[in-house]
Amino acid sequence: MDILTALMDGLWVALQPANLGLAVLGVVIGLFVGAMPGLGSVNGVAILLPFTFVIQEMTGSYTAPMIFLAAIYYGAMYGGAISSITLGIPGASTAVATTFDGRPMALTGQADKALVAAAVASFAGGTISTVLFTMFAPPLASVALQFGDPEIFALMLLAFATFVGLGGDDIPKTIFSICFGLVLATVGFDIISGEPRLIFFDMVGFSDGIQFLVLAIGVYGIGEMIWTINASRSDDKMAEVTITAKRVMAAIRSFAGAWRGTAIGSFLGFFVGILPAAGATPGSLMAYGVTKMASKDPKSFGKGNIDGVAAPEAANNSASTGSMLPMMTLGIPGSPTTAVLLAGMVIWGLQPGPLLFSEQPDFVWPLIGSFYVSNVVALLVNLAFIPVFLWMLRMPFTILAPIIFVLSLVGTYAAYQDMFDVWLMVLFGAGAFFLRLLDYPLAPAVLAIVLGPIAEPKLRQSLLFSDGDISIFFTRPIAGPITITALILILLPLIKLIRDKLRARRAPAG
Amino acid sequence: MIVTKRLFCAALGAAALTAASFAAPAQAFEPNKPIDFVIMAGKGGGADKMARLMQSIIEQQDLAPRPLVPINKAGGSGAEALVHMKGAKDPNHTIMVTLNSFFTTPLRQPGLGVDIMEFAPVGRMAEDTFLLWVHKDEGVTSFDQFLETAKSRGSDWVMGGTGKNSEDNIITDFLNNNYGLDIKYIPYKGGGEVAKQLAGQQITSSVNNPSEALGFYESGDVIPLVAFTDERLPLFPDVPTLREVGGDFSYFMQRSVVGAPGMSAEAQAYYTDLFSKAYQTDQWQKYKADKSLMGDFMAGDDLKAYWMVQRDRHEAILKASGAIN
């Protein structure tokens, strides 16, 4: 009951006009930053961090600037879906999985449904995770501490397994795609030994590794654009969407069909989010994979399944709340954005860590209250803007294609401020088109380049611990079950194949 | 009447402007575009936090006419940042916040062709300190007990650190070589992650900076055994220095701002002035005290001399550990 009273007080503070106004402003800024390809929540928060001093001076509290920054974070999670769906370019790294099904939905005239599903799922994910956060923050912090290197590696293995172990896709090609992504993920300086690896032609640009967004924007921006041009060769294959209040209402009703993805995304996203080093991008990709696996109709994923939009969107919002947890209770950022927020808290003179909840309740509870408020605000603002986003879709493709091209270039440059990455992105885009002609799935490569840099050091750190003995992944109480589940999922298609062969042999006999 | 007064004011203003422009040849340089503020480490680490604090102080106090734009270049223990600085197109608008990898990385990778003495010595903002930390459930409360326990456990005693041949690795090597220990060293991405690994007892000890371990120290999860400083730290008055318990070793990490090679003398003077103002602000002084940072402001030839000493020392350390020949 203590928690409830504290939460009520916190909500009351969060609803004060100044704080509410900051939440609205933050959400709107976040929405646009998130919708801009290349710019994500981390850019928005980092750029506006110095501005929060003004807020702090005006309001005289630490809470107000933090509410503002947290609102940008959430707004960006909502906004990322917009360009993923309407343009097919991921607005932010966290929204890559949203393009898998959001884009096909837009191409078949269901953009309104996809946008509404993204908004409502984001809201559900954000709210469910905030409730979990409110009730279990301190105990969950100690769970996060139990996750050592072998546990995180086992979890990453599980994420890969969800992509391999699915029926439908061509499995050898999926594995090839994962390996391609993993190779790209090893480029750059090795964390463990400090040695340079795969620095092609001694180009300095490779020394920091191949950034995930470079591949993602290349594949989904440039690659998709060339694909559409090739497929249509004429103007405007995009289905028209008319905007009426009735259609929006119908879209909201159709969201009921996405409950499964939303639920999986909300809980899985939160859990992945609280683990340091993971963050919202792996969370949304994993949620997509698991939802596809749990679906009755996995084959429709990638072709415009509403669950495929809801799951990653619920997950990235849920994970962004989740990643606040290790930041506040352990002082460890769970995502790049929380790293900047953490810097902000330090600058304001707060000491994030195990004692924050007991020593700074005046800071913590209004902030938690603002999570609830920001999510409601973000949902309303987002729904109100949907007609504008749909209007963008009505542009003929001859106009849209150059816009996508320019946004891809600008977005990549904005993310890393390096022309090298822009060229690389264009190269990946062209390559993606040819791989797609040959029917290679590219989502697994994107997954691999996100998870590879997390999984590889964890694998090697674990093996350093055990002096090279792989039993460390099986004997530890948390890592063991996860590893075994992952292995079963990877082997499942093989077992299925053998079973089908046996059956086929028995059938003519009997 | 009004018109004449206005005219008069305008004339006065114009006169003042010309006077000002004539009177300030010493401060000839002023940034005329945003300043690239390169950070030699990833987002969220100690260097990053400090860089963003400097940026915020300069912004808040309105010390510079153009904003500082932080850019993280973490690749290869700072190799990427050093190469970026070396090739900076506009050295007068490119500065960097450095760690000790400023010394070690060019030594370990001569192929980079980086000579740190070509960098402009803008200002040393602080020296960060190191302590030896263990988890409270380890039952170790003194350095002697640590030596005893670590020795008996051999390579089951695990030190977490921030990369191979990093500051943490140098201290671990020192302990292993001088006390006959066989501590296993496991590198992680950053000091924050190391602190978490220790709090969760995934590793048995760390040599975190105070700013990284402070949260878990205050909650009582981890305890400091010894400080690798010359004098006791005001924040940890009960923790002895290594020198007090018989070791002949102290180790600091510089937190300096440097200008890109080729920066003009005027620009260097401007940035030194800028950062010495930032250094004197209450916020910076409070941060220094809160996070147990040492070291006074240092710039120009003094800072270069300090670099020379540090580079020689790191060369000796890396040679002793076999990292370089």
Secondary structure tally for chain A: helices H, strands E: 24, 2
Report which listed range, A41-45, A340-344, B94-98, is most confident. Answer: B94-98
Please indicate, yes or no, if residue A210 is contained in any of the structural domains. yes
Please indicate, yes or no, if residue B238 is contained in any of the structural domains. no
Domain boundary, last residue among B227, B260, B278: B227
Please indicate, yes or no, if residue B258 is contained in any of the structural domains. yes
Domain count, chain A: 1
Please indicate, yes or no, if residue A152 is contained in any of the structural domains. yes
Please indicate, yes or no, if residue A492 is contained in any of the structural domains. yes
Question: Mean pLDDT over residues A47-58, rounded?
Answer: 79
Domain CATH code at residue B72: 3.40.190.150
Is the pLDDT at B2 greater than 50? The verdict is no
Q: Which of A413, A68, A350 is nearest to B71 (CA)?
A: A413
Q: What is the pLDDT of residue B27?
A: 53
Domain CATH code at residue B152: 3.40.190.10
Statement to judge: residues B124 and B135 lie in one domain: no
Please indicate, yes or no, if residue A130 is contained in any of the structural domains. yes
Q: Model confidence at B148, in pLDDT bands (50, 70, 90)?
A: very high
- Listed in sequence order, the residues at least 6 apart from A361 whose beta carbon sits closer than 8 Å to its beta carbon are A6
- Tens-place pLDDT, residues A357-410: 888 888 888 999 999 999 999 999 988 888 888 777 777 777 878 888 888 898
Statement to judge: residues B201 and B66 lie in one domain: no
Please indicate, yes or no, if residue A40 is contained in any of the structural domains. yes
Q: How many residues comprise chain A?
A: 510
Question: Mean pLDDT over residues A86-96, rounded?
Answer: 82
Tokens, residue A482: 């996860």
Domain count, chain B: 2
Q: What count of CB pairs under 8 Å joins A to B?
A: 139
Q: What is the pLDDT of residue A274?
A: 85
- Tens-place pLDDT, residues A92-135: 778 888 988 998 898 888 888 899 999 999 999 999 999 999 88
Please indicate, yes or no, if residue B245 is contained in any of the structural domains. no
Q: What number of other Cβ atoms are within 10 A of residue A15's Cβ?
A: 15
Report ipTM (2 d.p.): 0.75
- Residue from the list A50, A145, A417 with its beta carbon closest to the beta carbon of B59: A50
Please indicate, yes or no, if residue A76 is contained in any of the structural domains. yes
Q: Do A276 and B193 touch (CB under 8 A)?
A: yes
Q: What is the pLDDT of residue A447?
A: 81
Please indicate, yes or no, if residue B279 is contained in any of the structural domains. yes
Q: What is the pLDDT of residue B44?
A: 62
A464 touches chain B (CB under 8 A): yes
Statement to judge: residues B136 and B209 lie in one domain: yes
Q: Do A148 and B79 touch (CB under 8 A)?
A: no
Q: Which of A274, A273, A302, A276 is nearest to A288 (CA)?
A: A302
Statement to judge: residues B273 and B209 lie in one domain: no
Please indicate, yes or no, if residue B148 is contained in any of the structural domains. yes
Question: Mean pLDDT over residues A479-503, rounded?
Answer: 84
Q: Which of B272, B307, B4 is nearest to B127 (CA)?
A: B307
Q: How many residues comprise chain B?
A: 325
Q: What is the pLDDT of residue A233?
A: 60
Rounded to a whole number of angstroms, the distance from the CA of A440 to the nearest CA of chain B is 31
- Residue from the list B43, B197, B286 with its beta carbon closest to the beta carbon of A336: B43
Rounded to a whole number of angstroms, the distance from the CA of B205 to the nearest CA of chain A is 14
Please indicate, yes or no, if residue B214 is contained in any of the structural domains. yes
Statement to judge: residues B65 and B213 lie in one domain: no
Please indicate, yes or no, if residue B21 is contained in any of the structural domains. no
Q: Do A330 and B286 touch (CB under 8 A)?
A: no
Burial class (CB in 10 A: 0-12, 13-18, 19+), A398: exposed
Rounded to a whole number of angstroms, the distance from the CA of B172 to the nearest CA of chain A is 15
Helix (H/G/I), strand (E/B), else coil: B70: strand
For residue B97, report the phi and psi dihedrals to the nearest 5 degrees. -100, 130
All residues of chain B having their beta carbon less than 8 Å from the beta carbon of residue A339 are 43-44, 48
Is the pLDDT at A58 greater than 90? The verdict is no
Please tell me which residue of chain B has the smallest CA distance to A333: B44
Is the pLDDT at B59 greater than 70? The verdict is yes
Q: Given phi > 0 = left and psi -120 to 50 = alpha, else beta, which region is B158?
A: beta
Please tell me which residue of chain A has the smallest CA distance to B47: A343
Partners of B120 in beta bridges: B259
Q: What percent of chain A has pLDDT over 90?
A: 22
Rounded to the nearest 5 percent, the helix, strand and coil shares of chain A are 80, 0, 20
Mutation target to probe the B interface, by most B beta carbons within 10 A, among A147, A204, A469 is A204
Please indicate, yes or no, if residue A509 is contained in any of the structural domains. no
Higher pLDDT, residue B237 or A108: B237
How high does pLDDT run on average in chain A? 84
Mutation target to probe the B interface, by most B beta carbons within 10 A, among A151, A153, A190, A191 is A191
Please tell me which residue of chain B has the smallest CA distance to A211: B75
Statement to judge: residues B191 and B152 lie in one domain: yes
Query: How far from B274 is each of A49, B269, B280, CA to CA, in Å?
Result: 20, 9, 10
**A288, A306 Cβ separation under 8 angstroms:** no
Q: Do B189 and A277 touch (CB under 8 A)?
A: yes
Statement to judge: residues B290 and B157 lie in one domain: no
Please tell me which residue of chain B has the smallest CA distance to A336: B43
Please indicate, yes or no, if residue B58 is contained in any of the structural domains. yes
Statement to judge: residues B136 and B178 lie in one domain: yes
Please tell me which residue of chain A has the smallest CA distance to B193: A332
Higher pLDDT, residue B301 or A242: B301
Q: Do A191 and B189 touch (CB under 8 A)?
A: yes
**Parent domain of A455:** 2-500
The span from the CA of B38 to the CA of B54, in Å, is 12
Q: Model confidence at B228, in pLDDT bands (50, 70, 90)?
A: very high
The span from the CA of A313 to the CA of B80, in Å, is 34
Q: Model confidence at B45, in pLDDT bands (50, 70, 90)?
A: low
- Tens-place pLDDT, residues B122-146: 999 999 999 999 999 999 999 999 9
Domain boundary, last residue among B227, B243, B265: B227
Statement to judge: residues B53 and B185 lie in one domain: no
Please indicate, yes or no, if residue A505 is contained in any of the structural domains. no
**Parent domain of B83:** 35-128+252-320
Statement to judge: residues B123 and B51 lie in one domain: yes
The span from the CA of B73 to the CA of A495, in Å, is 46
**B221, B246 Cβ separation under 8 angstroms:** no
Q: Which of A211, A190, A256, A219 is nearest to A433 (CA)?
A: A219
